[in-house]
Amino acid sequence: MLKRILEPEVMDCPEEAREYDEMDHAAVNRQFVDDLLAGGEVRGDILDMGTGTALIPIELCERVEECRVMAIDLSTEMLDLARYRLEIAGMTHRIQLEHIDSKETPFADAMFDLVISNSIIHHIPDPSVVLREAVRVVKPGGRLFFRDLFRPDTEEQLQQLVETHVADQSPTQQKLFADSLRSALTVKEVQEIIASLGFAPETVVQTSDRHWTWDAICPE
């Protein structure tokens, strides 16, 4: 079993943020929104934790009219790129960007109808802090939808994923992906955290060769 090796929590290097933004995330983002919509009605006030360059909120708002998104991130470089993306997409009236730490947000309890996140968990030394905060700010009966990478069992499996998914991208982009895999949790580790928060561990499932997904309803 590979040992977890943390990568920097905040991607605030301009060059790395730009390299990340230039990676082809379209298929992954589209699948995220497809699966989110397939799991139930999406509407109302949504919080996106660790929004990065806000590509998923843009994809979501282009497909769902009855929602508004509060998109937060701790990286100022990512948020600068996100503002540019929102302007191009014409979504500044429906997506609000804020420089906020997902581990400790200023939002009131039970404020959002839905909390989503793609790929924040592997950046956090203690992911339970972010997941607990997500549970705090979602309304009773509201939905939680998180997705991230999981850590492979071996270095050989990790290198195979790099070859499969980013072999045609730059060396920096390949390293970013490999580092993210090394810093990710295993599916079992995520299930253990979810269980400690009072949710059924089976609400966390492997959903691709490199992703897990947590899809759950907050108790009334």
- Across the chain, what does the average pLDDT equal? 94
pLDDT class of 220 with cuts at 50, 70, 90 = confident
User: How confident is the model at residue 87, as a pLDDT?
Assistant: 97
**CATH fold label, 14-217:** Rossmann fold (3.40.50)
Where does residue 44 fall: left (phi above 0), alpha (psi -120 to 50 degrees), or beta otherwise? left
pLDDT class of 21 with cuts at 50, 70, 90 = low
Query: Which of 160-164, 174-178, 183-187, 193-197 bottoms out in mean pLDDT, i.e. has the lowest?
Result: 174-178
CB–CB of 178/162 below 8 Å?
yes
Q: Enter the tokens of residue 178.
A: 């490999």
> Is pLDDT above 90 for 177?
yes
Mean pLDDT of 19-35: 82
User: How confident is the model at residue 18, as a pLDDT?
Assistant: 66
Dist. CA 206–CA 150, nearest whole Å: 8
Burial 7-44 (b: 16+ CB within 10 A, else e): bebebeeeebbebbbebebeebbeebbeebeeeeebee
Mean pLDDT of 80-86: 95
Among candidates 180, 168, 183, which has minimal Cα distance to 16? Answer: 180
Dist. CA 77–CA 54, nearest whole Å: 12
pTM of the model: 0.94
